[in-house]
Amino acid sequence: MSLTRRTLLAAAPLAAAAPIGGSALAQSANPASTAAPPAAPTQQAPSFYRFKVGDFTVTAFHEGINNRPLDAGFVKNAPLEDVQKAAERAFLPKDRLPISFTTLLVNTGRNLVLIDTGFGDNGAASVGGTWRNLRAAGVEPGQIDTVIISHFHGDHITGVRLKDGSDAFPNAQVVVPTAEWAFWMDDAKMSAAPDAMKGAFQLVRRQFGPIQAKVGRYESGKEVVPGITALDASGHTPGHSIFAITSGNGRLLAVSDITNHPALFVRNPDWAAVFDMDADQARATRRRVLDMAASEKMQLAFYHAPFPAAGHVVKDGNGYEFVPVQWSSVL
């Protein structure tokens, strides 16, 4: 019988009706077949992925995933129909966007550096993977000596402190962009902010206020720790930063939130996401970074991309195409 769409669809109910493992007689003779199946799990196994950048070891942690309605307000300068078509092309739902989060742990041999914290133990069950999976990867939070924050949105800073108020990384210095600190810790800017943004200001103060004495600042264009250099990528937020990670001939560009989902904003870099505080500047930054990465064939690590959220981009018409890394079972 030839394989056609009709025969494929017709086979589905037949397969569902057929007993697993042979005939009904064979099943009844097998004691195991009468046992109740194990309860279906609700979460994946620990999700982390290691790869090398020169002599550095980078571990990507799947922090989790949230679903956001894919409505007319999500992309501010494109028709909803076009956005839905882009999602459909990537086999994503047309009514919601699954937004994933990926943090990075960089072992330079001298420093153990966490780039962004995720939600810690403060979020919903669908997030918090960084905190849960550190120990699965053989790392104790107290071993981390530096926590680098790319910008002050909640999915990047909420894990700085735990739900009980304690310091999540007690032996680490937390370093943040100077421009980001200046904006979010400014009382006048908080007072003038629209009501929808006041919660973000309050979160920043709640997370950093109690540990303010150990919070350092870094400038764009400077090494934060040896081998990790902060680069200006403002637009998404006033001090939004990305990071060039270099060791020997190895190069990785951790691009934070220059895109929200590659299927939308790598393919359509001129689209403006609702999360971008300065849409024009964010678009210019996105173009600049993606063009540099494509022309220099640099490997990228995204904060928002399907796990492990690393790969390359290639020029494709007026946009770019995201090419994920080849998963490897060895370093």
Out of 25-39, 55-69, 111-125, 233-247, pick the least confident: 25-39
Q: What is the pLDDT of residues 255-270, one digit of tens each?
A: 999 999 999 999 999 9
- Whether the per-residue pLDDT at 125 is higher than 90: the answer is no
Q: What is the pLDDT of residues 155-186, one digit of tens each?
A: 999 999 999 999 999 999 999 999 999 999 99
Rounded CA gap, 125 and 123, in Å? 7
Q: What is the pLDDT of residues 51-109, one digit of tens each?
A: 999 999 999 999 999 999 999 999 999 999 999 999 999 999 999 999 999 999 999 99
**pTM, rounded to two decimals:** 0.91
Please list, in sequence order, all residues whose beta carbon lies within 8 angstroms of the beta carbon of residue 61, skipping any fewer than 6 positions away: 47, 48, 102, 103, 104, 105, 118, 129, 130, 133, 134, 137
- Whether the per-residue pLDDT at 15 is higher than 60: the answer is no
Pull the structure tokens for residue 175: 């370093």
Say if residues 287 and 295 touch (Cβ distance below 8 Å).
no
pLDDT bucket at 14, cuts 50 / 70 / 90: low
41 or 140: which leads in pLDDT: 140
pLDDT, averaged across the chain: 91
- Whether the per-residue pLDDT at 208 is higher than 70: the answer is yes
pLDDT bucket at 12, cuts 50 / 70 / 90: low
Say if residues 240 and 257 touch (Cβ distance below 8 Å).
yes
- Whether the per-residue pLDDT at 121 is higher than 70: the answer is yes
Say if residues 129 and 118 touch (Cβ distance below 8 Å).
yes
Q: What is the pLDDT of residues 263-319, one digit of tens each?
A: 999 999 999 999 999 999 999 999 999 999 999 999 999 999 999 999 999 999 999
pLDDT of residue 2: 66
